[in-house]
A and B are shown apart, each in its own frame.
Chain A
Amino acid sequence: MATAGATAGLKDATAIVGIGQTAFARHLPEPEKTLACRAVLAALDDAGIAPGEVDALASYTMEETDEVEVAKALGLGDLTFFSKVGYGGGGSCATVAHLAAAIATGQATVGVAWRSRKRGSGPRPWRNTAAQLPTPAQWTRPFGLLRPVDEIGMLARRYMHEYGASRDHLFNVALACRNRANQNPAAIMYERPLTRDMYMTSRWISEPLCLFDNCLETDGALACVVVSAERARDCRHRPVYVHSAAQGLPSQHHGMVNYWNDDPLTGPAWTAARHLWKHADLTPDDIDVAQIYDAFTALIPLSLEGYGFCGRGEGGPFTEGGALEIGGRLPINTGGGGLSEAYVHGFNLVNEGVKQLRGTSTAQVPGAAACLVTAGEGVPTSALLLRS
């Protein structure tokens, strides 16, 4: 096992040893701060680590509960590292990556990453016309490009036009996520199967994307605990090692509305992937299961290309023949993902990756030993390679 040091890098130097989550629902009665506290405590309990030992925190810039509030409420110890990552769902994996870097370099010993969000019962962010979203609003919003689905729909239409990807390909993504949610009692869509007829006849949200191309709107919170590989051996569960980690902001990229560079259909996934694989002993062929950020179905074909599971333009056909289902070439989003388990800015994908490598997923891939987890494509992003 690699030890922390200037030349050793991040490879397997740290591990995720605890995961926690609240219930997921369209509406939870408790406030976000309370949900954050419950998720963090659940993750620490899962790890068998006392809250007083926590000395690092990481979350999203969009997280409403700050480090001071979490640390005060939970009686955490002295914090020596705390970090927040921007760009919404692009930051999910980076929260873990920042903790891994801090712990591998001796800045901290026990880190907790979390996300708590009442997106189900709270307001839709795009309704706040005064807020300057990552989008440069003056160039898009007056024309009625108002919501994330409109912005990504624009790229999806072009992608379908250039490569012949079809609505059936997008349905394959929605169906795989829904099928896994149907196996996961914690998922919002646990008892609600999806059919092709339901998909093809559902209402449009922003053509070419329909209702089932969109993620859920969820209240919920999740957290995970990161420690050194040495420390991990003393925790309650089998360690899940952070084998490789990357962030990605490509040259001339523009979050969500990436219309203004030479090749808008290659995004942050490509940049993150180059770094991720460069520092890994694994290749895409070694990945047993993947948790791919799915705010919209159309992000999956793009991510499959970006992370090297197929070539340019092949992301649509890749989804055919049950490839994304259990037993397929690359089972994805095995808890149901943002489309069908819960949309908590992708943090449930991190925890589901850990469950797969512990062997405790509700849709377990037999013998899963390596899992790719990604954050949002289409925004400055991040990714993790986890291994058991």
Chain B
Amino acid sequence: MSDTLLTPVHDEDGAPFWAYAARGELRVQVCADCGEPRFPPRPCCPRCRSFANAWRRMSGKGRIWSYVVPHPPLLPAYAAQAPYNVIVVVLAEAPRIRMVGNLVTGPDAPLDSVPPDRIRIGTKVQVVFGGDGMPRWVAERS
């Protein structure tokens, strides 16, 4: 049992996402023929059945669609930060694409850096990338 946070176990479809994330870019797979974005990434466009795809850069802006606050029992590294938040973010440019992440105070802040009672559905958020290449989200300054 690992005492560190889990790192993404990439598959072939998802690997480009993480390669871009490591460079601080939030990109989403889109169909190279019809332009339809899709998430999670997959080999074929469910709209036009094209196998050609590209990775479109997103602004990184979105809104919180939902969230949970997990409490133990959890894996040890997560229990150490619990209760923490997990949010689902709707991307501004692609409202059907929702990404799981964490609302934090800064790129390398812990998962519990925002008090749970400060989280609201609908809050505007902006992606940030930590030193570990993981996309996280901070509240947009209004």
Contacts and interface: CB of A to CB of B under 8 A. Distances in A.
Contacts of A146: 70, 74-75, 78
Interface stretch (A19-27, A199-207, A354-362): A199-207
A158 B73 CA distance: 23
B102 A143 contact: yes
A264 B6 CA distance: 26
B58 interface: no
A150 B121 contact: no
B88 A259 contact: yes
A146 B65 CA distance: 19
Contacts, number: 111
A70 interface: no
Interface residues of A, number: 39
A256 to B, nearest CB: 12
Contacts of B10: 138
A275 interface: no
Contacts of B98: 259-260, 264
B68 A138 contact: no
A33 interface: no
Given A129-B6, A138-B8, A147 B39 contact: no
A161 B119 CA distance: 13
Given A127-B1, A154-B67, A139 B74 contact: no
Given A158-B66, A259-B65, A139 B40 contact: yes
A153 B7 CA distance: 22
Interface in A202-233: 203-209
Interface in B65-88: 65-71, 73-75, 78, 81, 83-84, 86, 88
A147 B79 CA distance: 13
Given A137-B9, A142-B7, A144-B78, A157 B67 contact: yes
A161 B66 contact: yes
Contacts of B78: 144, 146
A257 interface: yes
A145 interface: yes
A158 B121 contact: yes
Q: Lowest 10 CB-CB distances: which A-B pairs, in order?
A: A207-B69, A158-B66, A138-B8, A153-B68, A259-B98, A204-B71, A157-B66, A206-B70, A142-B6, A206-B68
10 contacts: A129-B6, A136-B40, A139-B100, A143-B102, A145-B68, A154-B66, A157-B68, A157-B121, A158-B66, A259-B88
